[in-house]
Amino acid sequence: MTSALAAPRPQDLTPAGRHPATVLATLVGRRAVRSGASWGLAFGLFIVVQTSAYTSQYKSQAGRDGLARAYGTNLGLNALLGQARAINTVAGWAEWRFIGILTILGSVWGLLTATRLLRGEEDAGRFDLLLAGQTTRGRAAVQAMAGLGAGLVAMFTAVAVGTIIAGSRASVGLRLGQCLALSAALISSPAIFLAIGALCSQLAGTRRRAAAIGGALFGVAYAIRMVADTSASVHWLIWLSPLGWIEQSRPLTGHDLSPLLLVLALTMAAAGAACWLAHRRDVGAAVLAGPDASAPHVRLLGSPIGLAIRLTGSAVAGWLFAVTGFAVVIGTTAEPATTDKNGSSGIEQALSRLGGHGSPVADYLGLTILVIALIVALIAASQVSAIRGEEADGHLEALLVRPVRRRSWFAGRAALSILVLVVAGVVGGIGTWAGAATQHAPISLGSLIAAGLNVVPPALLLLGLGTLTYGVWPRKTTVVVYGYLAWSLLIELAGGLIKMSHWLLDTSVFFHMTPAPAADPNWASAAILTGLGLAGTVLGGLCFHQRDLQNA
Amino acid sequence: MAVPAIRTEGLSKRYGASAALCELDLEVEPGEVVGYLGPNGAGKTTTIRLLLGLARPTAGRAEIFGLDCQRQAVAAHRRLAYVPAEANLWPSLTGEETLHLLGRVQGRVDLAYREELTGRFDLDPARKVRAYSKGNRQKLLLIAALITRAELLVLDEPTGGLDPLMEQAFRHSVREARDRGQTVFLSSHILSEVEALCDRVAILRGGRLAEFGTLAQLRHLSALSVEATFTGTPPDLAGVPGVIRVVVDGCRVHLQLQGSIAPLIEALAGTGLQGLLSREPSLEELFLAHYGTADHLDRDRVPASASAGDGDRP
């Protein structure tokens, strides 16, 4: 006979690690710290390299004054990166440059990190496992926010190191306090969008939708800041945008960091709201979820391409809305911006490097349409990501075990993506014209549609790179396509003001795009980009046909 | 002679240094229900992915009704329906929309049977997939496959999330399919399900086909479980030809017997035998015997896979 086994006493068991209540914070924190430190190091390196390039290329005050004359009055750049102040000094130049560029990239990092680590983990069902441990929904949310906070601290540390290294050089001469203030300003947008990403993760039912809501909020904030920086009469709008608060903090040239208190307040409010909602809602549910049942709508559900339209339609509509919105804003601000100041000669000088020869309005639009180019490129990246997502989520398998050819499925998705990009380009051109027309700006519809189409080839190249990666190395598709897009944007924004080696500039997909309508589109260059993109797509399709399906 | 529903020749798949499937030769006749068994990682799902053309073989080939699974995948897919183990469907579609989509992609469906199955499986098709439980998503996939009336049903652990009532509905549906002449290739860990439904059973071990035959054939290859009760001290039966694993428990002896029972009967004559019970091994016992895990689970009941005379004594 066997005796009944005695239940082990708690003191007989070996502790599995630290306090169970910190497991989620540690898990989220570890991934956030790794990501935050990597991005922070990249930001820090960017600051060191760019500062060094500025001081070596503009050694004399006369040279710096020339730079300020050329770019300080460049309204297109002011709209893209924020108002330039005192850029004939290292401090003024660094403040304008780094806040303008790194605020955009930092916002994207914050949004993607928060939605990936919160809603993404919840989507995958892994949060269920952790919530079955010694915690509650509310406490788990607080832990997750603490983990994200750790990632932000890691980013701040890395950025501060880069800023201090750059600032300690004799030719730069920034004090430690200034370096830390600049670092704080630079991690402000990541902080805000980490919190907004966390909040969106409570509102939306899927990671993609959470990122889309957050992206729309970023778009609105950026558009307001952009409008505010194009005309003195509407500069008060800057206080309606969190990105404007960061710009207004002027950590190196001003003496008042109080706008950063608004950043802190918004971050805390969004984080608090995220924790409150997480505590109140069911795990896996969403505040903005639609009904769980509905009457069938089968009109598009007759083929894989119809299914793709049904599944991606709302996202594409959102993107086209964003393109239209930004295009109208850019077009509307063109005329007031270029008549507001008497510095159009500076713009023309700046654009002469790129072959610009148009009117001030055309010159302004030639630079600001980079925003439309970026959004169209983001659409390309999101299309590739959606194609990969179908396979990663196992949905593609449900189609390919039926009489559906791999080639026709892939060709359909690729053709749909190309169509969306072309439509986005045309809509961008028409929207810009519509905006400009409201202000009676002297520019034709034809030239702006051409300018809109001019932004499509870079997006097609990105689509080709993404689909090629998808065919060969599917699990790295999203990383490659978004990574290359971020790289291209960095090079494009950095390379315009600091002379870079030509081969480095060549690596940016945007560098090969002429600044239409300031200059005539270079259709030969556009044809090469389009050809490379299509070749990549075809090759990607062939590789996809030959390989095994790979779930996430 | 009819073209086999499934035929593989030397079908192999490697993932880097690891061999998932090794030289599989398998032939499934039209109209039969074949169970496909093996422990986790034995290569069952790999086989199915190769049959469906979702993965490329490292060597060998596979055919569905004579159609090459790689080069003629679309033609092969017209004649089969598949239910995966993981129910990954589009969360934003309702059940009805999903059935409509999958039916349209397949080409033809039996609409009347769809209504019948929706009732049999007690599924609310108006609900969105994201609101379904795991079991309901699995039912949706089963219905989507069955309503195609495909000649071949490839089912990869299709009842993982089903409750016992739905399990019965599933068995009923598979029997219906067999009665209509459809072929069923059923990969499952539920051995009672395979035992109840399948005409033949294939057992995989380490990526290789270990056994393939009817249950009767497999039982013939395995040992008979015998329990003998004596009026006094039991005789020593360990040396009897075919007898293995002798366990003595007072006046009772449990043993396994491989081959003819005649030597055992001779040995029992004049030994004070009071009662004799024998039974064939269940599929579970056969399965466990093939994987050598019997000792961990039930030392007395399960025959060893070793040859006769290799039995151990307590």
**B230 and B176, same structural domain?**
no
**B289 and B207, same structural domain?**
no
**B227 and B147, same structural domain?**
no
B191 inside domain: yes
**Selected residue of A299, A301, A396 to mutate for chain B interface (largest B Cβ count, 10 A):** A301
**Selected residue of B49, B65, B92 to mutate for chain A interface (largest A Cβ count, 10 A):** B92
Contacts of B94 in chain A (CB under 8 A): 293-294, 296
Helix (H/G/I), strand (E/B), else coil: B233: coil
Written as six digits, the tokens of A300 are: 């598009």
B313 inside domain: no
**B149 and B46, same structural domain?**
yes
Helix (H/G/I), strand (E/B), else coil: B86: coil
A5 inside domain: no
Note whether A341 and A423 are within 8 A (CB).
no
B236 inside domain: yes
pLDDT (tens digit per residue) in A28-59: 999 999 999 999 999 999 999 889 888 888 88
CB contact under 8 A, A301 and B90: no
**A257 and A121, same structural domain?**
yes
Contacts of B77 in chain A (CB under 8 A): 401-404
Contacts of B127 in chain A (CB under 8 A): 292-293
The secondary structure of residue B249, as a DSSP letter, is E
Q: How far is B221 from chain A (nearest CA, A)?
A: 35
From B192, B218, B244, the end of a domain falls on B218
Q: Output B244 or A421, whichever has higher pLDDT.
A: A421
From B182, B198, B218, the end of a domain falls on B218
Q: How far is A14 from chain B (nearest CA, A)?
A: 27
**A304 and A238, same structural domain?**
no
Determine the Cα–Cα distance for residues A486 and A183; give it in Å rounded to an integer. Answer: 20
| Least confident piece of the model among A335-339, A507-511, B1-5 | A335-339
**A309 and A283, same structural domain?**
no
Residues of chain A above pLDDT 90, percent? 61
Query: How many domains does chain A divide into?
Result: 2
User: Scanning every residue of chain A, which has its alpha carbon at the shortest distance from the alpha carbon of B51?
Assistant: A401
B305 inside domain: no
The answer to whether the complex's ipTM is over 0.90 is no
A223 inside domain: yes
- Residues facing B203 on adjacent strands: B37, B211
Whether A119 has a pLDDT exceeding 60, the answer reads yes
**B171 and B134, same structural domain?**
yes
Q: How far is A153 from chain B (nearest CA, A)?
A: 37
pLDDT of residue A355: 46
pLDDT of residue B299: 35
Determine the Cα–Cα distance for residues B179 and B174; give it in Å rounded to an integer. Answer: 9
A552 inside domain: yes
**A540 and A417, same structural domain?**
yes
B230: domain CATH number? Answer: 3.30.70
**B30 and B47, same structural domain?**
yes
User: Which of these, B175, B201, B164, lies nearest to B281 by C-alpha position?
Assistant: B201
**A209 and A101, same structural domain?**
yes
A520 inside domain: yes
**A86 and A188, same structural domain?**
yes
**B55 and B158, same structural domain?**
yes
pLDDT of residue A271: 97
**B236 and B151, same structural domain?**
no
Contacts of B130 in chain A (CB under 8 A): 205, 292
Determine the Cα–Cα distance for residues A286 and A505; give it in Å rounded to an integer. Answer: 44
CB contact under 8 A, A296 and B77: no
Written as six digits, the tokens of B39 are: 């422990």
Note whether A249 and A355 are within 8 A (CB).
no
From B218, B247, B270, the end of a domain falls on B218
B64 inside domain: yes
pLDDT-based confidence at residue A494 (cuts at 50, 70, 90): confident
Residues 206-245 of B with CB under 8 A from A: none
Contacts of A549 in chain B (CB under 8 A): 49, 54-55
Contacts of B105 in chain A (CB under 8 A): 303-304, 399, 402-404
Domain hosting B62: range is 6-218
From A252, A287, A322, the end of a domain falls on A287
Query: How many domains does chain B divide into?
Result: 2
Domain hosting A27: range is 20-287
A505 inside domain: yes
**A199 and A140, same structural domain?**
yes
Whether A433 has a pLDDT exceeding 50, the answer reads yes
B310 inside domain: no
Question: How far is residue A550 from each of residues A206, A382, A536, A544, measured CA to CA in Å?
Answer: 21, 19, 20, 10
Q: Outline where B161-254 has alpha helix (H).
A: 164-179, 191-197, 215-221
Contacts of A282 in chain B (CB under 8 A): none
pLDDT (tens digit per residue) in A369-413: 889 999 999 999 999 999 999 999 899 999 999 999 999 999 999
B61 inside domain: yes
From A287, A321, A338, the end of a domain falls on A287
**B255 and B156, same structural domain?**
no
**B180 and B75, same structural domain?**
yes
pLDDT-based confidence at residue A469 (cuts at 50, 70, 90): very high
**B124 and B140, same structural domain?**
yes
User: Scanning every residue of chain A, which has its alpha carbon at the shortest distance from the alpha carbon of B124?
Assistant: A293
**A232 and A348, same structural domain?**
no
**A68 and A35, same structural domain?**
yes
CB contact under 8 A, B77 and A393: no
Residue whose pair of structure tokens reads 């991690």 in the numeric block: A187
pLDDT of residue B284: 77
Neighbouring C-beta atoms of residue A298, cutoff 10 Å: 17
pLDDT-based confidence at residue A294 (cuts at 50, 70, 90): confident
pLDDT-based confidence at residue A544 (cuts at 50, 70, 90): very high
B87: domain CATH number? Answer: 3.40.50.300
A403 inside domain: yes
CB contact under 8 A, A404 and B74: yes
A11 inside domain: no
A3 inside domain: no
Of B92, B100, B107, the CB nearest to A296: B100
Q: What is the mean pLDDT of each run of 10 residues along chain B (314 residues)?
A: 92 92 96 93 93 94 96 94 92 94 92 96 94 94 96 94 92 96 93 91 91 82 83 90 87 86 88 87 74 44 32 30
Helix (H) or strand (E) run with residue B140 in it: helix B134-146
Written as six digits, the tokens of A497 are: 């003001």
B149 inside domain: yes
pTM attached to this predicted model: 0.83
**A505 and A392, same structural domain?**
yes
| Dihedrals phi, psi of A516, to nearest 5 degrees | -70, 145
**A393 and A354, same structural domain?**
yes
Mean pLDDT over the full length of chain A: 89
**B123 and B261, same structural domain?**
no
pLDDT of residue A353: 46
**A248 and A314, same structural domain?**
no
